[in-house]
Structure 1
């Protein structure tokens, strides 16, 4: 074997072994994944291309040369077809890949093989075959026919289509897929640019096809992509079109617990610069947080993120326990809130029954005794006591009905200026000599009528139970408060303050502050009780929804 033949062999054997090795590895490692197996077939097609190119340089027989050229061009014909199919899979349009499409794309390559084998008769692919000298060796050289250019233009067109699909897909997705698209496109383009130089400009020599050297670069780039980025683990847009529109957090996790893919919801809620490529334990909350708040005894996989509650499920992609899996976090915040509200309503119902059975029984007994005494003595003064008992029952029934209504979740809110609503509430309460100071002009989102009822009960509580002279309404960072300068609330009373039927005075129904709590809960607000600056009680409401303009002012 001459020195030139050894050099040509070196140029071909390396790319051949690399493409074969990659093809076998991808086929075995990504078994059952069309995107990986299609690319594996593409690498095998490149191997056929290299084999045909390599072997035909060692023959001077036109018949053998044409046969080996047909082998070569089976590879050159299959490679762009398979690359285009791979690009379609990469874009998530597996529905487009049909037998009809694939057979249609193979028509030109099949005709090319026929044209090559019949070149000596018709001259459509090769017009002629002649011998030339190359560094002292005799080799065959061809003159291109019309179908040669049809074959070439067809392959380059498919390459352009496939590359465009991959680049466009990468731009539509996250940085991880852009990196994938860049690797694939760069690797393929180098080989095809080298091929264009050979076909159009006969570089470096009409009888020496340098395309295999370009394929060597292609194989190296793709090898880097496979081993560093798990290149074919997921077909991107297939999940993009569906998964990105799902409100759940969806993470694709490999066997090493590393995130391969994440939908837009995950990126928005998790609020991390990079989700893809990170260990799943770094992306999701810690085990202490994840053990958190279960809504039933069997629900242990609950995650709390930014105040929202998610149920975590892990779904295997295949039956193989070591294969990739999908972690799905479903937002169950509303479900948890509904169950909490149901629990509160049940507690309220129990307390309601207790008030009806116990607290109403007392004025009923008074009324019954008053009527009996009036009947026995004939004195009407006993009926006056009974009349007061009736008024007491009427007041309790009215409060109970109001409490039942306020216990329901607020469904519609509107802009409610605190200064306006508080003054309306103040005017509806017997305030005596007490005064109201409204030190805010903030507007919140609330049910105005229920908000007024909340203030009426707080004002009535401050004046009737706390003997307040001044009541102040002002705002906090995320809400408002009502404070008074009355007698305040003992530490022992705080624990029972919002219990239904609890009152510090005998004349009270014990329902006023329960109504306040029910209205706040219905709006989704939190309520706390502190000691005011003047020594009285201070009721603070937080998590209050503000008017948009108010939010902007606070943020500024």
Structure 2
């Protein structure tokens, strides 16, 4: 056999080319496996080379089979490569074009059905003749070999199907060449011819039996194909740098990317750049022709931001250009910042609203960090410095106040802010400041610690309430109180003088009147003098009481209301009048006993002075419950008489100082009662009694249990 091969130049050359092809395919496959097995595209490429190698081995072995059974066995081996090549080629094209979603198990199973069925059909073709119908022995040069004489229906079905897969894969590669950049086009300028050589030789063999029915030239095409693929592998790195990587990176990044050559023509774009372009197929067109006019103008002005305003909502992009001297291309990158711009707009609007709000606050308000930098100031605070808010913000207090060293207690104020920040506790201080006009103002300043979100620094919020007017008012009150105390002291001195200097002469007058002869002619005058002197003494006594009864009760004592009422009754000894006491012995209150007796005594006298005997005066308890109910609540007490009562026209005047309807009265009795009651914190009122007489009620009294 070897001698026959050597003696036949045609067969020898055919065989040598097959062995060269096998060695070349194995070499390229081994190199790819060692360097790119982890890459899906690299693995598919290796399998594609494997199917070509099997095809080549089967073709050369079948040429030298002496029997039909060996011929069928070699043909079956050859068809393993023939059936697998179109399927693997389509998968390679899908991965290369970045359509990885189609490289899935269901898709692989579907496209492999007909090739998978072809293998057993080839192995059993003597039983049915679906693939080959008849065989004949023919001569190649000087060697007799077996060859196929007729083919069956499955042969043409499989062939058409295989060519369809190859056509689809080639279309994907051509599409990649059109849509991709120059680098990928260079890859395809080598890849497409390489693949085309193999399938062209296969078509010539199938249709015209070229160059001989027993000699399949397809493996020869594989040799040339593998040689070109080796060139592409080393020169363009079509496995390392493929559209797969571009689809995974270039098309999925959110930034809009446009690649332009030195002539200004678009050579590649990603999907994110489409909104910026007027042409959906911009490859090869001038950039200025497919890019919006306004965008091109903004780029020429070296603007870092591009604005698109011809849409319902404006869109904004940050623009930058990437280029290198060793690459003849410019990469234009547009990063959409619409949301950032909108956030900035909202933030600026919120800041402006905050500015309007803080400026509406009439009191000084500011924010300072621990470095003494003013982060925020309202107009009221800026006015204290004689500046505007924008002149203060961003500066340190020491930079704002040129005469810091002359400001009293400046360091103390600063230390208070640091203390608030360090302790985290709000603090309030009263501070005295001198404004730019030299006027001294008083402030109650509250400092609150917080952490700024923008600068992540500790800061303090200061709110100063101007209490200058309040301070002046407090000073006026203090001065008034002091003057009142001085006046009261003088009144006490005056009362003492009145008591001593006026009452003594009255006592002298009354003494001398008692020594006068009581003859009938002078008796009337003597009695008038005696009555006037006595009335004057009563007025002086009541005035002296009135000057003291209204003073605050500093040390009240626990007293029995019934006991005080009885003692008061015993003091005045009113003839023709009875006391009806209805006060429980256990009813006790906190009071000034002496002044409380003044209340009872004056009300008793008032009843006697304005009514004729016989007269009954009742003293009872006010309560909020039902009489006889053990749970009743005591709220006060009352004094009423059985006299004629108080006329309606006098109701509004009876408590006025000096008002009286009795010529013998002083007009100060009820005034004294009112002053004493109010000094205890109680309330005084009057109404008609049970029998129509006058009734005085003292309420809001806290009884002791």
TM-score by length of 2: 0.38
Higher relative contact order (CA 8 A, sep 6+): 1
Q: Which structure has the larger Rg over C-alpha atoms?
A: 2
